[in-house]
């Protein structure tokens, strides 16, 4: 369920605009800080999902049999993301030497999910890749806003929708190895009140290191710049949108060092966007795994491990306060273990934590506090 977000509904996250009050040096700090107003992502009312039925054998498709055409975009997108799940898990298992646990389920009326998680491996503290296929309904008012049309509707009207997505987060042990996240999804509504069904694509891949390694960032961002250029999309816009989305407003900094993100994409032929989404998903392994291989055996100090735990705390803050997928899953009764799969096993919130103003941790903070000003390729 974590793979399905409110971006399907055409809704944007609401972010607070308070200035960063955490960037003042210790000697310059006032005796007390002003309270920071935090506003989380806008709530969405959706039908609670029916209880999952766990299965040991996963069917070839999670679509509704006899109703949805496997050759439709619904079927093709599902097969694409299931192929990406296999591809990514195989690459991670090869590096780590351990295997993923798999939980799979279906739901009455269609849909289901496949969650794979590796915990306490040799390289990754926690790695998860989840696929979900969802049939549900959304409030007519939210749909009216999404399509931008003044549609007459009754107060309790709801619009049937289909959503499919894949979501993943990788948290390595070594603080010199970055965390990585990706999410690719497709959404459709049924024909309703004389309006043809609508559709959107969304997704992206982003990286969250603990230290600035210019060559690694050039590699990661270079892979996705090339993907964007192959399909005529602006890498710069998707990079800026990524920095904006992953801002931890109450901290005045981004969660990590970005990548690409696109929301509600339907600006051209459906086939063209599907090809772009497929190309982006197919380059996850190339963008990320070589960086982990490069650093997985790097020596690290207790201070560097402590810094990683602090940054894991920031990661957790973003996911629980702002992330639309997490909030949507919690509000719709999705499978809780899959929704919170993105959280690390360990994190830290040390009170009034300070870094050496001349050290690499401060250099990292300087970048995430002004992410849009930094281009890597």
Answer for the pair 274, 201: CB distance below 8 angstroms, yes or no: yes
Q: Which residues pair with 248 in a beta bridge?
A: 253
Residue among 361, 179, 199, 195 nearest 266 (CA): 199
Cα 63 to Cα 74: distance, rounded to the nearest angstrom: 8
Q: Which of 363, 301, 337, 355 is nearest to 132 (CA)?
A: 337
Catalytic residue among 171, 176, 181, 219: 181
The span from the CA of 38 to the CA of 52, in Å, is 34
- Decide if 219 is catalytic: no
> How big is the CA angle at 282 (ends 314 and 262), to the nearest 5 degrees?
55
Evaluate whether 233 touches 265 at the Cβ level (below 8 Å). Answer: no
CA-CA-CA-CA dihedral for 14, 16, 17, 19, to nearest 10 = -150
User: Contact at 8 Å (CB) between 203 and 280?
Assistant: yes
3-state SS assignment for residue 60:
coil
The tokens describing 307, both together, are 């810094």
First to last CA, the chain: 33
In contact, 209 and 170? CB cutoff 8 Å: no
As beta bridge partners, residue 139 has: 158
Measured CA to CA, the distance from residue 307 to residue 126 in angstroms comes to 18
Please answer whether residues 65 and 114 qualify as being in contact, where contact means their C-beta atoms are separated by less than 8 angstroms.
no
- What number of helices (H) and strands (E) belong to the chain? 10, 10
Taking a C-beta distance cutoff of 8 angstroms, is the pair 43, 132 a contact? Answer: no
Pairwise CA distance, residues 186 & 277, whole Å: 10
**If we measure between CA atoms, which residue out of 347, 294, 291 comes closest to residue 126?**
347
Residues labelled as active-site residues:
181
């Amino acid at each position: 369920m974590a793979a399905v977000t409110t971006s399907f509904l055409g809704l944007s996250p609401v972010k607070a605009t308070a200035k960063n009050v955490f960037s003042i040096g210790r000697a310059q700090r006032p005796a007390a800080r002003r309270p920071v107003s935090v506003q989380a992502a806008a709530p969405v009312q959706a039908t609670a999902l029916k209880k999952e039925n766990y299965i040991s054998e996963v069917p070839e498709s999670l679509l509704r049999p006899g109703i949805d055409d496997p050759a439709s975009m619904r079927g093709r997108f599902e097969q694409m993301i299931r192929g990406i799940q296999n591809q990514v898990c195989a690459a991670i298992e090869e590096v780590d030497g351990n295997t993923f646990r798999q939980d799979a389920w279906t739901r009455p009326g269609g849909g289901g999910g496949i969650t794979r998680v590796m915990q306490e491996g040799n390289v990754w503290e926690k790695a998860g890749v989840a696929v979900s296929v969802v049939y549900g309904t959304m409030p007519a008012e939210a749909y009216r806003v999404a399509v931008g049309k003044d549609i007459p509707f009754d107060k309790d009207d709801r619009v049937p929708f289909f959503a499919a997505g894949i979501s993943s987060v990788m948290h390595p042990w070594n603080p010199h190895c970055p965390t990585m996240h990706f999410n690719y999804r497709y959404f459709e509504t049924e024909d309703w009140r004389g309006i043809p069904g609508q559709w959107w694509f969304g997704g992206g891949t982003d990286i969250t290191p603990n230290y600035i390694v210019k060559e690694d960032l050039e590699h990661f961002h270079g892979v996705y710049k090339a993907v964007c250029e192959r399909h005529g999309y602006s890498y710069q816009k998707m990079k800026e949108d990524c920095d904006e989305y992953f801002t931890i407003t109450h901290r005045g900094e981004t969660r990590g060092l970005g990548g690409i993100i696109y929301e509600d994409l339907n600006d051209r032929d459906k086939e063209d966007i599907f090809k772009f989404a497929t190309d982006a998903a197919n380059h996850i392994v190339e963008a990320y795994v070589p960086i982990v291989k490069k650093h997985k055996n790097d020596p690290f100090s207790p201070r560097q491990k402590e810094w990683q735990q602090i940054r894991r705390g920031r990661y957790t803050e973003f996911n629980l306060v702002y992330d639309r997928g997490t909030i949507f899953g919690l509000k719709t009764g999705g499978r809780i273990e899959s929704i919170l799969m993105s959280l690390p096993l360990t994190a830290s919130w040390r009170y009034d934590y300070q870094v050496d103003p001349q050290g690499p941790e401060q250099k990292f903070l300087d970048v995430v506090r002004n992410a849009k000003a930094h281009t890597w390729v």
